[in-house]
Chains A and B, each alone.
Chain A
């Protein structure tokens, strides 16, 4: 029979659960179909997430257009070192996630354990990122940079400049906060997957997570990385050369 599923819709799909062909959920006709559907679903989800962050980027675009000096002044208050280190941390974590996906492709328990270790390492770097972010937030709170009634950047007397800086920090906290939230979900997913890979459930019916699951988690992780890749220059690198 020619290959079934989405690439060749005119050929019959194989009957449900052909023995030995690979486990799949009952709504699908084949494992191949399930794998493709889940990958495609993850990409559709990523596209929607892109539009979820979009309004914040658009608000940022409005702000840069109307308050260029305020954006520069506010950006200079962000922690350049922490932000740059964090970017490197996240890029490295993406490498580890990609390596985990690669490891999971090989057969055998050894490969699964290797993938699990790499996923744990990925999550660990994610936690490092969050820790550094927390440290940054702490500093920004202490400097009265959190938007709201208590917003009071040092040495800024002009109302309009302060207003623009407050809006910048509004977007800063929203964008990095939303990013951190997504990262936390990713960390959880990596750890949960790692646990499943190291200790697959007993009984043959459900073999536990596999390379497809690692691939999906990886896609999500890389997306979170891509978001940060854009946030970094927009938030940390404005006006660094001085007023």
Chain B
């Protein structure tokens, strides 16, 4: 039996594997036409893993090229196409859907005690839209690639690039609609389908995080969609609302693009914060410190995140007064993030901490996110940004957050909820080794890039002066280690599906409604609709 206080009163517990959602049909049709949020989550999991591999291959080629100062592996054009492919795939086809569409889809209804999301068919439609968008992007890559960078800056993308920009834009557009529908689904679900007794301040922080993320998805993504349409229209009709030679303004594009793309980075990091907030209390055996502040901080990050986009444009020709406004707001957005870091740390204080793989990932997340976040402050300072903009410092900063932060949290979440999703336990030894290899590989890859950037190494260049080579070689070596680390979970997790020990309902003795039902859960999640009588994270001093 569970030793953590369970926060609901179950009338009966159904743990028979026969009624699990996985046993509800084995045909392809039962998967491709499913309305079950849990199956849709797995559909997403498989697809984003494939795209992650593709984006990783692009990264590998980039790091291989950069191991030597000369541009000798690929031409400059091809190199442009490589980093564009890497960016487009990793941002839109991996990071943005990763935690919300895989973990969020699976866990949100479970965590609030619902039978499914509010609109299951819309959920399936989201996945199909995602696949369609991914196929279009893949087509653009196979047809010859895109060389504009994932940011599609004008007038290069509208007037001068000879690559398959329109096709790629279409792909991103379609994927964008997928994420809008997911966000809509989550918002309606959290507002209207919480179990009795599940007030807002009894929700797990993972739910809060995905809720705030969904608000951003719904409000910001349409702006991107229309902006990309405008770029495509410009290419097709040779008009120039973004082209100064035709009366337009390239900054108009940048304002519109970054109005989405800055909140997009919060789409990528907020769910990761939610995952950390689930894992850390569990393995410190303590309730999260300052729950309300954590919830308010999530909302604050989402709101203020809409106000800072101009910090991507400090050296673009934007008015310096607007720059000052954006700089100030960018400093402000760091505050709620810092509050969260302090609270995670305080949660550990006087805890009985253990270090299974999910905890290693979560602690790694906190540390690496902190470094990434602090370097963001460097970039938010106008004067420093003049020196650091478009250098490897920026590249290192966002990789610390997106890879050291989001990807590690995603992996931590995969491991934490693996027993719930699959009904199997993975090998803890391998899990820990992989987490440490990833952590080491990550830092070896990206820390040198801070130094490179500060010394002036520009981003998106495939050749560089000799004196930068040592740091580049270290970074490329780290990338090899990182790749090994990423491949390991593919191995032992897949192995566990067949040979892993069967998981009990609550192997971690965690709180949360998802742990109060079978592993894997039955089709409609709960045998009886739960009633919530306690707050979240009810870990106490006398539970072992």
* Contact, chains A and B (beta carbon distance below 8 A): yes
> A residues near B, CB below 8 A?
4-6, 9-13, 15-16, 26-29, 33, 36-37, 40-41, 44-45, 47-56, 58-59, 62-63, 66-67, 147-149, 160, 163-164, 166-167, 170-171, 174
Contact code string B130-150 (vs A, CB < 8 Å = 1, else 0): 000000000000000000000
How far is it, in angstroms, between the C-alpha of A26 and the C-alpha of B114 when the chains are bound? 11
User: Chain B residues near A148 (CB, 8 Å)?
Assistant: 237-239
Contact for B226 among A45, A53, A66, CB less than 8 A: A53
Q: What's the nearest-Cβ distance from chain B to residue A91, in Å? A: 25
B120 within 8 A of A: yes
- Given A49-B222, A55-B230, A62-B252, are A40 and B196 neighbors across the interface (CB < 8 Å)? no
B246 within 8 A of A: yes
- Majority DSSP secondary structure for residues of A touching B: helix
Contact B230 A27 (CB under 8 A): no
User: Chain A residues near B237 (CB, 8 Å)?
Assistant: 147-148, 170
Contact B233 A45 (CB under 8 A): no
Contact B199 A9 (CB under 8 A): yes
Can you sample 20 A-B contacts with CB below 8 Å?
A: A6-B192, A27-B115, A37-B189, A40-B188, A41-B118, A41-B119, A44-B184, A44-B188, A49-B222, A52-B223, A53-B226, A55-B256, A58-B255, A66-B249, A148-B237, A166-B239, A166-B246, A167-B239, A170-B233, A171-B241
Contact B238 A149 (CB under 8 A): yes
Contact for A5 among B192, B199, B219, B220, CB less than 8 A: B192
Size of the B side of the interface (Cβ < 8 Å), in residues, is 48
User: Chain B residues near A167 (CB, 8 Å)?
Assistant: 239-241, 246-248
* Chain B minimum-CB-distance residue to A25: B120
Contact for B256 among A58, A147, A160, CB less than 8 A: A58
Contact code string B192-231 (vs A, CB < 8 Å = 1, else 0): 1111111100000000000000000011111101110110
Contact A13 B529 (CB under 8 A): yes
User: Chain A residues near B187 (CB, 8 Å)?
Assistant: 44
How far is it, in angstroms, between the C-alpha of A147 and the C-alpha of B235 when the chains are bound? 12
User: Chain B residues near A15 (CB, 8 Å)?
Assistant: 529
B531 within 8 A of A: yes
Contact A147 B239 (CB under 8 A): yes
How far is it, in angstroms, between the C-alpha of A28 and the C-alpha of B187 when the chains are bound? 15
User: Chain B residues near A53 (CB, 8 Å)?
Assistant: 226
User: Chain B residues near A55 (CB, 8 Å)?
Assistant: 223, 226-227, 230, 256
How far is it, in angstroms, between the C-alpha of A52 and the C-alpha of B115 when the chains are bound? 32
Q: What's the nearest-Cβ distance from chain A to residue B192, in Å? A: 4
Scoring B197, B223, B524 by chain A CB atoms within 10 A of each residue's CB, the highest score goes to: B223
Contact A37 B118 (CB under 8 A): yes
User: Chain A residues near B227 (CB, 8 Å)?
Assistant: 55
Given contacts A40-B188, A53-B226, 8 further A-B contacts (CB under 8 A): A9-B194, A13-B529, A27-B115, A33-B192, A44-B218, A47-B219, A56-B230, A67-B247
How far is it, in angstroms, between the C-alpha of A41 and the C-alpha of B191 when the chains are bound? 10
Q: What's the nearest-Cβ distance from chain A to residue B464, in Å? A: 37
* Chain A minimum-CB-distance residue to B245: A163
Q: What's the nearest-Cβ distance from chain B to residue A66, in Å? A: 8
Q: What's the nearest-Cβ distance from chain A to residue B487, in Å? A: 38
